[in-house]
Amino acid sequence: MNPQEMFLKQLEQAVPYVTVEPEYLEILRHPKEVLELSLPIRLDGGGVKVFKAWRSHHNNALGPYKGGVRYHAAVDRDEVVALSSWMTIKCAIAGLPYGGGKGGVAVDIRELSRNELENMSRAYALGLSRFTGTNYDIPAPDVYTNPQIMSWFLDTYEKVKGYSESSAYTGKPPVLGGSLGRADATGKGGIFVLREGLVKLGLLGRKDLKVGIQGYGNAGTRAHRFVEQDLGLTVVAVSDSGAAIHNPKGLAFQEIGQYKNDTRSLKGFKNGEELFPDLIFGLDMDILILAALGGAIDGQNASEVKASAILELANGPITPDGERVLADKGVTILPDVLSNAGGVIVSCFEWIQGRSGDFWTEDYVFQKLDERLSHSFQEIFSIAEGKKISIRQAAYVKAVGRIVDAMRFRGIWP
């Protein structure tokens, strides 16, 4: 099942619990528009390589399109469209004045020099310049993109337009109008959602809970830090694409996080048992944080999972077949469209700061992030309990209801 099929399946599972006219549901099944680009880049060693790239606008009933740009060799049109669809749901859940967008370039950035990476990034921003803007579509970082790449995007956009517009992109460095707390927002927001989930499960305050983190990149490493710092829990296993590390006595963030930062890999870490990455799912733990890519847990390996609760920091990390197996086992899933919304929420805060010329402290950013995610969680959990459905279904019920309300007022017109 590809990502777009996953989105459609999740959408259909919520439909029986919300009043939606068929015509609006049909609109939500499709992106409004998709831009496809071919980016010819002259390589440092000579010759030209053409990179395929996309930007999908799914739905803008609630406001401008919003969503990140990812650089990954496996990126394709279906994935970008699915991610833009999930962004529509995510923004609606968080109560943001946005619709859903997403972008991607099919590239392995490890094969590019810094100069080639900059040229490709600027070529992408140039291609998007007629497709983005403060009041139309505001891109942000995602997999393998960062504040430096957002800076190249913004600089290219502003040179094309001929004026400054710092709110046209988010996830920038603070010196260019970025928000404090943006780099930590996805991990921090996920831990806020996990805290609320533990309250409902009657587990908050238990220090004996064991945590595993699949995907030890930007979101995963930050989740590790906040699990220790904010919840006082012990991480016993982490994994990246090269290895899983397991230590039942605990893996301190200061030690393994520094090792990952220094070596860019978990392979060779000595203070724990090194395993194949996928073996992390079968290890003894109470909470599993999924922070890698989509489709990590499916109908084949879901039975291996021993955790009783899963936090989805990645987009689409559990397939519908995998979720069915986990539900039968009684596993509580805190879904991606809620759990990883911290990034887009703080991007919204950055957008607001850029438009107003204001600048917020990190404490104030995290306070507002906590308030928004806690409120969204309570609303969604109440729907789940009232309708006796999963938290994911409840999240879609809330989101679809809000989006369709806006579409009803707008009407159907090109």
**Nearest alpha-carbon partner for 255 in 275, 274, 241, 235:** 235
Strand pairing partners for 287? 211, 309
Distance CA 251, CA 253 (A): 6
Which of 121, 122, 106 shows the shortest CA–CA distance to 72?
106
Distance CA 189, CA 343 (A): 8
Exposed, middle or buried: residue 314 (CB in 10 Å: 0-12, 13-18, 19+)?
buried
Which are the contacts of 286, defined by CB distance < 8 A and separation ≥ 6? 203, 209, 210, 211, 307, 308, 309
Residue 352 to residue 154: CA distance in whole angstroms: 16
Give Cα 105 distance to the centre of its chain. Answer: 17
Is position 161 annotated as part of the catalytic site?
no
Which of the following is catalytic: 9, 32, 52, 102?
Answer: 102
3-state secondary structure of 177: coil
Spatial distance between the Cα atoms of 337 and 244, rounded to a whole number of angstroms: 26
Catalytic center residues: 102
